[in-house]
Structure 1
Amino acid sequence: MSDAASNDVIDQVERSRSSKIWNRFVGILRLSPTAAVGLMIILFFALLAIFAPWIMPHDPVAAYTDRVLQAPSAEHWFGTDGNGMDVFSRVIYGAKFGFGIAIPAVLISLLIGVPVGLIAGYRGGLLDEVLMRFFDGLRVFPSIILALAVVAATGQSLLNVVLVLGLLDSPVFARVVRAEVLALRSSNFVESAIAAGNPTWRILFVHLLPNAIQGAMAQTAVRAAWAVRISATLAFLGVGIQAPTPEWGAMIRQGAEFMVSGQWWVGLYPGLALIFLVFGLNLFGDGLQDLMDPRRRTAK
């Protein structure tokens, strides 16, 4: 095959792949416009996080002592903060922490909650009661109060914030998976698997998990929005990631101090970024639930 023919084949494959991706996106848009809009917002912030080093016009932690609290201008689009740092660059870099907290926290919640929900729902009895009562105990206290106490005790670091949020949110996934397993454990395919001599781990992770995971997956985007919001709240309250690290919650906290004196831009722009990311995650999560549950889509 000649080089020209080979290039034509490669171009056709790439066009076919692009067409499939576009058709899939159009399909999502038709089935759930909410999910499509939320996905576009999430992708926008994801691109900011990925390409932040090339998009930021200034170093996000570089302090310009001669430019403290400058209003938005051609050089500093979102103005500067109380340390003379460029707010626009810091808002862009803050997207890294939004995703850097939300994604690991949700993964930890899934890794804890899904196996517990599987075991509790399948075994039932005393084991179910003990596991669920422990998780209910985590949900009794207001999440923000418990997160404040744990992070304050363990230390203000990104890793501690992620671990705490992942642990506190795991009962949500455990409850969802357990409910699905309770409805499935008497099904014919489970009884057939037991009769065939399959070990418990295989019944749980091969037969039950694929049928019980949909509800949990539909919750991931909503719980990621919760993780972003709580992590920003912790930073705003002075517990969690702190300045000069460009995290939106910490930036809003600093901006609140200058709002009364007229420097509104310090806290406004990170606040808007936080609102839009949480809004996009919630939209995508709601649309994802519609896509995975046709009954909800029909009701709408």
Structure 2
Amino acid sequence: MAIAISEIRAGDRLARLWRRSSSFVVGSALVALLVLTALLCGFVSPYGPTQVLPNAILQTPSAAHWFGTDGNGMDVFTRVLYGARYAIAIALPSAFVMVAVGVPLGLIAGYYGGVVDEVLTRMLDVLRAFPSIILALAVVSATGQSLINVVVVIGLIDAPIFARVVRSEVISIRRSDFVASAVVTGNPTWRILFVHLLPNTIKGAAALLPLRMAWALRVSATLAFVGVGIQAPEPEWGALIRQGAEYIISGQHWVAMFPGIALVIAVFGFNLMGDGLQELTDPRLDVKK
């Protein structure tokens, strides 16, 4: 009986969440599917992600190979599934770098203002002045094509966005009574920044995070496609699309098509989740409801 009541309550909560933001529900479901795929891909496919099948080169999709095979005789379905691990391994650490670098800079610039704000803001403006893809291409080419380098570069390039969002929020509340009270009672600066200001300024950055994770996936796939990012035989979706592009003209479209579809679904899921978070954190939404 208790289980049935809890299921009803969970269903009611989901229904209310759907009414408030169906985008968030659908996007979260797609992101959850991506995470499950990354966790369970080793149990789903009988093949390894780099296992070569000499007698199965460029086979069309079939019962034995759902997405066909590529020019090396590797199972495309298996490689697309394992590509989800690279997607998570890029999106989540990149988001951590963005937040870990951008949020403290935004807090410091907004709280101190004056020369500190001016210097930090101008430095961030210089970083954002370069086209993101071109800058990522240049830095990854110089530092190496490892997963760690790709993650760090993407995170650092996008950190200024979070810094600006947090900075604007801090500027709007730094003269508030609760901040003045914290200063008067002798709280150290780090406590004012991270205990008093951060919880009141992080909402906008949190809503922005899934959107920037989608951006990180797109940039990573772009880098791999042009030959700078993670490369074959690693089953990263951008690398798989690059590998399959040469076969499209000869009719073996499935090699590039299926990893491309997986990338679109993942990016779409993160974008929907981000749009939904912005809807849920918009105070005007509560007024309308």
TM-score tier after normalising by the smaller chain length: over 0.9
The correspondence for 1:100, drawn from 89, 95, 104, is 89
Tell me the equivalent position of 1:5: none
Correspondence 1:199 to 2:188: yes
Is the alpha carbon distance of 1:117 and 1:56 closer, same or farther for their aligned partners in structure 2, counting shifts above 3 Å?
Answer: same
Aligned-partner residue type, residue 77 of structure 1: W
SS in 1 for 2:55: helix
Q: Give the Cα separation in 1 of the matches to 2:205 and 2:191.
A: 20
Aligned-partner residue type, residue 200 of structure 2: N
Tell me the equivalent position of 2:227: 238
The TM-score normalised by the length of structure 2 is 0.96
User: Shift in Å at residue 294 of structure 1?
Assistant: 2.6
User: Shift in Å at residue 26 of structure 1?
Assistant: 2.9
User: Shift in Å at residue 280 of structure 1?
Assistant: 0.7
Q: Give the Cα separation in 2 of the matches to 1:214 and 1:134.
A: 24
The correspondence for 1:26, drawn from 9, 15, 20, is 15
Tell me the equivalent position of 1:248: 237
Aligned-partner residue type, residue 237 of structure 2: W
Superposed counterparts of 1:189-228, under 5 Å: 189-228=178-217
The correspondence for 2:258, drawn from 269, 274, 289, is 269
Tell me the equivalent position of 1:129: 118
Contact 1:290 1:297 in 2 (8 A): no
Correspondence 1:283 to 2:272: yes
Q: Give the Cα separation in 2 of the matches to 1:140 and 1:295.
A: 33
Aligned-partner residue type, residue 213 of structure 1: I
Aligned-partner residue type, residue 81 of structure 2: I
Q: Give the Cα separation in 2 of the matches to 1:274 and 1:80.
A: 18
Give CA deviations for 1:184-233 in whole Å, capped at 9, x if unaligned: 00111111211222221111111111000000000110000000110011
Superposed counterparts of 1:1-300, under 5 Å: 12=2, 21-295=10-284
Which ranges in structure 1 are unaligned for 5 or more consecutive residues?
A: 1-10
Give CA deviations for 1:93-146 in whole Å, capped at 9, x if unaligned: 100000110000001110000010000000001111111111111111111100
Q: Give the Cα separation in 2 of the matches to 1:171 and 1:296.
A: 28
Q: Give the Cα separation in 1 of the matches to 2:172 and 2:66.
A: 55
SS in 1 for 2:87: helix
Paired residue total: 289
Aligned-partner residue type, residue 124 of structure 1: G
Greater shift, 48-57 or 72-81, is seen at 48-57
